[in-house]
Structure 1
């Protein structure tokens, strides 16, 4: 029989020879997922014997990593805002940078709407990371969440159920704000948030193979200049925002001024750019004052 340490050593060497950046870490993450244990258990019990069936499953997943499938798709898991989310191919993998967007909404809620009912719209549900985090962390909220992808909505609903917030979320299928038409939601939203596709079309092919070959282009391609979705959302949001409501976007590192200008030209006030931990522009926010 083969032991934990034996198989980890073999997998690490194979991943390293395939130019995987973090071979030992990836080997451990995949094995802990297959065994259903925390990584620390692999270090505590390195002599634990592993069945041939576990070995077979493990090597199948290691081969996927060698082909540059993101580790999150392999183990169907990603952490976001301290919460665990189910992910699979077909939805964008939640990034740590997007937590800045969620944190900004939480901060604004604490200032403007604390202890009052808050209605939030999330455009581009994906895995539900933003939607579910907001519902979980802002307990006075009701979140409307829109995505054009039926698969994304199915995964997001699964994550909402896992975190017990499904009763405070309404999932709608459709393009951008179109599903809100004729639903009586005009001037009712305290926040509209979105992490839209923002990669310029020409730049999509320049992304790493791990991203462009596996993550959905629908969630990446923002049109010729990367700003297509910002234009549409900025233009349509005022119809649904309450007086003094907020529009917040995640942006690419070089899009802060362009998105700010779109919002200012539309008539938003208090438009500000928020930087991420690396000091790069990451969020643009603005207030709609009638």
Structure 2
């Protein structure tokens, strides 16, 4: 049944009530964003036009969005985009929503590139394993103008969304999106290609922990991009073992990690001769979030 006309203030109050019933973490902010989206206005408009009457069809649409969000359906999937590294990315079902935590790794890679003279003077090849929406790949391409980036993901949905984002940011000439598992597409592409940097935010949640995550993640985000095996380290092992074949001498390998995985990653890297200068960096919340190691071929 169609709802009667309501003012923006009434819709705002209704939104907060509905999302609180669903135990949504930020009901006021989510209501602002959903109402702005439904009315196609900015957030300021919501506060400056509280008495504006909204007609029944638009009211119905807003309430439908609210009820969808109430179930835990990710806000970003409803709105269709997410900001990351100052850029706007299209997101949708089938890809992880880019998170601020991941900016720790991207900022660190940019810092490493700009601190090394050899990286600044030449075109650098970067491989990103696990494209997702393209957040890491495209942020690096955007902020490192001398970077040529190859990006791999096994998911067809991720591949399609990353392609849209690549075009939207005008980075097609320096980004190559490949579909496949880990290093396989690179092997098929060019047996001789080597990379200055290999970077990855792989699935790293232990299989048994996924159902304990907040419902936005456990219920709606792709398990393929979350499940890191029994101990969460399966993909780190595979990437660490495969990287030496594709890294240039004195290249760099960088990972996003879970908050309690730093020592495990350090141990895994130390087990492979050639990895050295292993560093761990914390995010803004003070949690371990990224690991970087140098690679040097043994004679």
* Contact kept? 1:187, 1:242, Cα under 8 Å: no
Aligned-partner Cα distance in 1 for 2:16–2:211: 29
Which residue does the alignment assign to 1:51? Answer: 55
Which residue does the alignment assign to 2:204? Answer: 198
User: With structure 1 as the length reference, what TM-score do the two structures score?
Assistant: 0.96
Q: Which of 225, 228, 236 in structure 1 is aligned with 2:231?
A: 225
Aligned-partner Cα distance in 2 for 1:111–1:240: 22
* Contact kept? 1:187, 1:239, Cα under 8 Å: no
Q: Deviations over 1:157-178 (max 9, x none)?
A: 1111111112211010000111
Aligned-partner Cα distance in 1 for 2:112–2:80: 32
Aligned-partner Cα distance in 2 for 1:234–1:98: 19
Offset at residue 32 of structure 1 (A): 0.9
Offset at residue 128 of structure 1 (A): 0.7
Aligned-partner Cα distance in 1 for 2:12–2:152: 42
**What RMSD over aligned residues (CA atoms) do the two structures have, in Å?**
1.3
Q: Which of 36, 41, 46 in structure 2 is aligned with 1:42?
A: 46
Offset at residue 37 of structure 1 (A): 2.1
Which structure 1 residue ranges, 4+ long, deviate > 6 Å from structure 2?
Answer: none
Offset at residue 49 of structure 1 (A): 2.8
Q: Deviations over 1:95-154 (max 9, x none)?
A: 100000100110011012114211111000011111111111111111101000011010
Aligned-partner Cα distance in 2 for 1:241–1:216: 29
Residues 1:289 and 2:296 aligned together:
yes
Q: Deviations over 1:8-56 (max 9, x none)?
A: 1111122223322221211111111122222112112222332322222
Aligned-partner Cα distance in 1 for 2:55–2:272: 62
What SS is found at the alignment partner of 2:197?
strand
Offset at residue 184 of structure 1 (A): 2.8
Offset at residue 204 of structure 1 (A): 1.3
Instruction: State how many pairs are aligned.
Output: 290
Q: Deviations over 1:208-235 (max 9, x none)?
A: 2221100110010000111000000000
Which residue does the alignment assign to 1:22? Answer: 26
Q: Deviations over 1:176-218 (max 9, x none)?
A: 1111114335462111000000011111122122211001100
Which residue does the alignment assign to 1:273? Answer: 280
* Contact kept? 2:122, 2:146, Cα under 8 Å: yes
User: With structure 2 as the length reference, what TM-score do the two structures score?
Assistant: 0.94
What SS is found at the alignment partner of 1:167?
coil
